[in-house]
Structure formats: structure tokens, C-alpha cells
A = this chain, B = another copy of it.
Amino acid sequence: MIKAGIIGGTGYTGVELLRILALHPEVKITAVTSRSDAGMRVDALYPNLRGYLSDLIFCLPSVESLSNCDVVFFATPNGTAMLMAKELLDLGIKVIDLSADFRLKDVVEWEHWYNLTHATPYLIEQAVYGLPEIHREKLKNANLIACAGCYPTAVQLGFLPLLEKDGVDLNLIADVKSGVSGAGRKAEIATLMSETGESFKAYSASGHRHLPEITQGLTAIANQTVNLTFVPHLTPMIRGIHATLYANLTSAMGAEELQMLYEARYANEEFVDVLPFGSHPDTRNVRGSNRCQIALHLPQGGKTLVILSVIDNLVKGAAGQAVQSMNLCFGFPENIGLVTVALYP
């Protein structure tokens, strides 16, 4: 049984961590911090937790309140983890960051996209990117984990088997749709129900912060520069990401070969599920679960491969993947605390 702390427990990734860890047999949550709600019962803010974490009170974020933890999760806005990680690491506490602070290896690029000066750039190198299907071995020994973003998870898992092989034009397209919980729990007009319900739109089509993260990952996989056009969209639902990925094949691969490529790559991955060729995964298939479902199409038998990849942005795209990474770095079974069936309907 390890002791876990959560910094920034009032956002959607924070409460999702609470939901998962509340029933994790190897974890006891000992501290949840919140500047705005310090002193308040956690289950007063989140009545779904009543009966599970009854003794938990939000406390102010400080190293003291977290010093007896074995692991600390940052479920904070960008720019917070980089200020506190060093001190926690020095105390021998493992740090799992769900924000973007340590995801980009190129600090100049990070500072450009996040419009901040990085406070601890020297930590970036040791940070292990939290996408277990690609970095499992490194995660087992990680002290600082930079969890993959939600869009990056759906897109990278979708392209991974293809890019590990030759035979594809590296000008790729990712047309990705997200539920509104991806925008976080912030007082903003743009994500009001009256603004986002019954309507669909693209946003940041000319450039989104997740673009450099995805490109960094795909380039590493392909071992060549990948050029990605990435258009995110907001869809009127709460949870779920659906990535529709387009790749032009340059070698003669047919449906069967492609399907086998994907199935083989993910044969031992409990959290990646390759559907039969030509399937159409609904995002609800994975709602509340840590799974990614993938399906392949070759429309009109042509050279454009269409890959459909769905996740729950708050689970496999955030809190679930963080727990999966934690399981790895503490030597627990990788799936512990994450065995759930998606809620349908």
C-alpha cells in the first residue's frame, strides 16, 4: 500500500484520479490539494465520492503536506508542476505530471507553445513520457513521468504500428474530435452548455499545443521527420476522443496485411483493442475505461488508409494512463485498479 498525493484535485483529471484511486487496492490517498477549496471536504465538492473518501479534506498545496507521500500526481494547469517537482523528487517522491510541463524535449518549443519560461528545464531529460505502450520499460524505472496528453494518446496509438514500419507517406492528417471535458473545469463562457450543446466546431485549426507533442512522438516512432496536419474539434458531449487519421500508403499493403500489423503490435496490450477490419468504434465503447479501440479502413480499396482511434480523454487520455504508469513504476500489475467495463448506454 503506497501513499499518494494529488495536487490540483478539483479539476476533471483530479476528480478522475480520485475516482480511480479510491478503489485501487495498493493506494491510499493521503493528501489532495486545492488553493480555492482548502478546508472543504472532498466529497462535498464531489458527491459521487461520498462513502469512499469520507475523511479527505482539501489542503493547501505545499511540500510539507505531501512529504510523506510515495507518489504525487499533478492534475494542475500547465506551469505548476515545473515549480514543485524538484523538491518532491529530492525527497524521493515519484512525480507523475498530468499537465504538459515535461512532455516536450525541446524547451524552446515548449516555451513557444505554452507561452511560459520553463522553471526547471534540467528536469526535462529525466522525464519519461507516460505512454506505456511505447515507453513501458523506461516507465518501470521512472521517477518523473510526463503523462501523454489526450489528443497525443489517441493519435500516437493510432499511427504507431504503421509508422514502425516503412511504406507510408509521412505527410499525415489527424482530424480529431473531443468532448468538452477536455477543456477542463474552468469558469469560461466558451464551454457553457448553452455555447457547446447542439453545435459542432473546429478550433485551433491553425495550430494547437498538442501538435508539437504529437509530432515529437510520431517522429521518434518513424525515426524520420513526420509532417502532421492536426485539426481538433469540439463535439457536444462530455467525455471521449475520436481520432480519424489519414495516411497515404506508398507500398502495396492490403487490408489483411494492415490488420495483421495492428493486431500483432497490440496483441499483448490489455488497453489497446484492435477491432475487426472495417469496424466503427463509438467513443462510448470506452467511456470510463482505460482502453483505446482502433479500427482500420481502406476506402475504395485505395491507397489512403483511414484509422479510427477512440479513447476516454479523462481515463486513457489522462487519469487512467497516469495510474497505469504508476502501476509500472511501483511494480504493480499494470492493470490493477483499471479493470472496468465501459458504461453503456
Contact = CB atoms under 8 A, between A and B. Distances in A.
A300 interface: yes
B238 A299 contact: no
Nearest to A246: B173
A341 B206 CA distance: 29
Given A48-B286, A340-B23, A237 B198 contact: yes
Given A12-B194, A280-B201, A306-B205, A175 B344 contact: no
A185 B200 CA distance: 19
Contacts of A310: 200-201
Interface stretch (A92-100, A145-153, A228-236): A228-236
A344 B280 contact: no
Contact of A235 (B180, B235, B287, B291): B235
Interface in A284-319: 284-289, 291, 293, 297-300, 302, 304, 306, 308, 310
Interface string A232-270: 010111111010101010000000000000000000001
19 contacts: A23-B340, A23-B341, A47-B282, A50-B275, A51-B273, A173-B246, A181-B345, A187-B189, A198-B239, A198-B287, A199-B240, A200-B283, A201-B310, A206-B298, A207-B299, A229-B246, A229-B306, A233-B242, A235-B235
